[in-house]
A and B are shown apart, each in its own frame.
Chain A
Amino acid sequence: MNIAVILKQVPDTEANVAADPTHPGKIVEDTLKFILNPYDEYAVEEALVIAEKSGGEVIGVCIGSDRAEWAIRTAMAMGIHRAVFITDPEAVESDIITQAKILASIIKTLDVSLILCGRSWIDLQEDALAPALGHFLNIAHVSNAGKIDVDCLKATVIRELDGGTLEVRVTLPAVISCSKELNEPRYPTLIAIKRSKNKEIKRVTLSDLGMTPGTPRSFVTDLQTPSSRGKGKIVTGDPADMVKEAVQWLSDEAKII
């Protein structure tokens, strides 16, 4: 069974993201470290485990600027077999629904029975990919999988909900988004890293796909980073005095009570 995994490159979780003063809605990229979207790693690992069991290929599909090739290579080092990569600025700049439409048209050209993606893109906190892909491919989708069992052309998925789980059975092909409860993504061996360098990344363009995505339905107009928190106030002394001082401060200066 062939499996498609959607890959996205995002700034490192520890990166110090700053708004670009000259380009509203953009971030300063020069000094940023980029990584494969952490939730995508769970999708890659799960795809590899399923493919190892059932046979078949795992194919990465990625929209991103040239630097996103590094994210594809990361997934290749983990074990995915090949990838399709689209770098048209129009595609890269568009919103998640439009991107889902582009991804769907690529997936249609692949012979896959399962599409896995991360439950969320951590950069803009977008969770809409799986339902949108399901819509454009006209197949079932399941979000936030904590466990996936594939049997022939059916999958049983345990969805992670707040305070509980939900068991869902779907007929394949289907789109499933993956959460961190699913597995422990592998750390690539050196041989796997070496071999990944020769794996095929097929670059396609929007015109290859015969698509004109048009104006995105939504676009980012501004980006603000939270202002840094001020210093806390520490009161010392006798507990009774401390309470008095704290209450006074809260009412007089902070004007909270």
Chain B
Amino acid sequence: MEWTLFHAIIMAIAIPVAVVLFARAISYKVKLMQKAAPIPDPIADHKTRIRDFFTIFLGQQKLFQERLPGLMHAIIFWGFCILLTRAITLFGMGFAGFDFHLPFLGFHQPLGKMYSLVKDIVNVLVAAMVIYALWRRYIKKVPRLLNTPGALFVLLMILGLMISDMIFDGTLHASRNTAFNAWSPVGSFLGSIMSGENGVLSSGAIFLGHISYFFHCLGILVFLVYLPMGKHMHIVTSVFNVYLRPLNRNGRLTQLDLEDETIESFGVSRIEEYSWKDFLDLYTCTECGRCNDVCPAKRTEKELAPRELTIHQKHFLLDDEAERILAGDTSKEPSKALVPDVVKPEEIWACTTCQSCEQACPVNIGYVQRINALRRSEVLNHSRFPSELKRAFKGMETNNNPWGIGASTRLDWAKDLKLPVWGENGTPEYLLFLGCAAAFDDRAQRIAKALVNFLLKRNISFGVIGVDEPCCGETARRLGEEALGQMLMETNVELFNELGVKKILTPCPHCFNTFKNEYPDFKGNYEVIHHSQLIAEILKTSSTVENIDSPMQAVLHDSCYLGRINGEFDAPRTVVSIATGREVLEPLESREKGFCCGAGGGLFWLEESGKRINHERFNQLVQTGSDTIVTSCPYCLIMLSDAAKDLENQTVAVKDIVELL
């Protein structure tokens, strides 16, 4: 099998055509990104980003959250990286003849031998993984996968590339009469088969060799041109998406500028008001559906499915709006309204902001902020939101709590307690910020009582603000009422700073998260401690063992805002294991994968239709065989207690960690 000028001519035409088409498609998308809004934070902390590059991108870390499919993808990806060298060699052969090789990689050189062996193994492994992927899609029919023609095309294409490389390598070996060679097991083996007993290649085999060569090289170029058109764009963009992910944005919404009188639209009402990083997110989505699998809304058959939200926004951007945006004509109206035409109101009001989708996404696509931006626009620009929220908003505005119960009754639950009020006896160490739930909900008030009793018994120096304790503002912000949220936050910062607060202790992960992650944006810098953390510390160093409760089998429900979003998994577990003297049971989905109770993102204040998220979670927790569900958040406590009532389960108790002591 000989190289001819024909090879060179074909390659000389095909490569520039493919590269130009590819470059044009990419530059179109980059230009579109340039028309988008800026990102809120500078791209700093390259150390973390480089670590992400190695772990999340090269290491495929997040894909391994599902072991076998993760391994499948990783092998194809690593194989792709390794075979890049092979592809360059093959293109080189097109111009310089079939003996061409990259420096040090000649077949008779030591490195070349090793590379040849690795390449053969990789070809076989990748082909096997593609067959596994095809099996998952078309025989096992994994529900989350969308079997689009594009997905099938790409898989068959990869399979074709592997096979064609093997055949070409085989014919090349045969035409050089090389016997079986351990450094090229696949190539030399195939070669020996094709050349038959007499060791001469038939003209048919030679033709097959050439076909394979062209299929492989042109296939790569077709693939290159196809990439920017479909979901496989992630092959190009994922490295950027991983590297450029917003850092320090867990549980921290962007701060809207409400002071600037020239701004007349808030949040995102037109797609180009998203940042360029949001655009990159849309480009990068591979439609794998891992987000859908973990989304509490999707899992309970609500309108929201994070993947579909992303796909709809992507198609709207690229198919309907790109021309208008690129033309830069701001006077021209969008072809459709982002809400309610592209994204339905039911979708944006179904997000619990639990961030499990972001945890699951292998390429760090953001969802919560993208949905919140739509809520902001709906509330602030159009005053469109589910009617039951008005009561919660008015309650926060007038009575400092979403329940709307008179602010003057905030401490009524503590009538029988000696509650130290801040400033009555000097400046205490901790400001005990109980939060609205623990102050106004009958069930959650028991957390407040148990916590205050614990602190008093342990002589912890603390004080409460009293009836003037405001709402932390978290709920308002999560619901898109940024103006109300900011007003509450600014009031708090002023009050806390006036009182000289340094440390805030709270039993509510929502208050905890917003004080810790969002208040610094409003000049409120405090050390924020969740009650599980303080109690765990005290119990660990305590010489007296706490009165061990009845032999309960406790299962721990992770609060999203304490666990997944703020990384505190151990403190509640420490408290439970010391308090019960037993190992803590873990539900099917726990720690980073903990399933939401359904209350987050302000959804506590919305009517839920259809299947209930709290019922789903309750059943999952009960399946462990536990008799006590332990929570570390008043909202989780209320939601799971309600689930127990709704499902008429009287055998399982629901308690906050502090109620175990």
Contact = CB atoms under 8 A, between A and B. Distances in A.
Please indicate whether A and B come from the same complex rather than being unrelated chains. Answer: yes
Interface of A: 12, 14-16, 31, 33, 35, 184, 186-191, 193-194
B380 interface: yes
Given A33-B398, A191-B264, A194-B261, A186 B383 contact: yes
Nearest to B382: A189
Contacts of B408: 15-16, 31
Given A14-B399, A190-B258, A193-B483, A33 B407 contact: yes
Given A190-B380, A194-B261, 14 more contacts: A12-B399, A14-B398, A14-B399, A14-B405, A14-B406, A15-B406, A15-B408, A16-B408, A184-B387, A187-B393, A188-B383, A189-B382, A190-B381, A191-B264
6 contacts: A14-B398, A189-B380, A190-B258, A190-B381, A191-B381, A193-B483
Contacts of B406: 12, 14-16
Interface of B: 258, 261, 264, 266, 379-383, 385, 387, 390, 393, 398-399, 404-409, 482-483
B258 A187 contact: no
Contacts of A14: 398-399, 404-407
B436 to A, nearest CB: 13
Closest 7 CB pairs of A and B: A14-B406, A190-B380, A16-B408, A189-B383, A187-B383, A190-B483, A12-B398
A31 B408 CA distance: 8
B291 to A, nearest CB: 31
- Chain A contact residues, majority secondary structure: loop
Contacts of B264: 191
B399 A33 contact: yes
A33 B404 CA distance: 12
A189 B390 contact: no
A145 B438 CA distance: 41
Contacts of A12: 398-399, 406
A184 B239 CA distance: 50
Contacts of B383: 186-189
A166 B540 CA distance: 72
Choose among A184, A193, A194 the residue with the greatest number of B CB atoms under 10 Å from its CB: A194
Contacts of B405: 14
A27 to B, nearest CB: 13
A187 B399 contact: no
Choose among B264, B393, B399, B408 the residue with the greatest number of A CB atoms under 10 Å from its CB: B408
Contacts of A33: 398-399, 407
A36 to B, nearest CB: 10
A187 B398 contact: no
A186 B383 CA distance: 8
A12 B387 CA distance: 20
B602 to A, nearest CB: 15
B381 A189 contact: yes
A171 B261 CA distance: 44
A243 to B, nearest CB: 27
B575 to A, nearest CB: 35
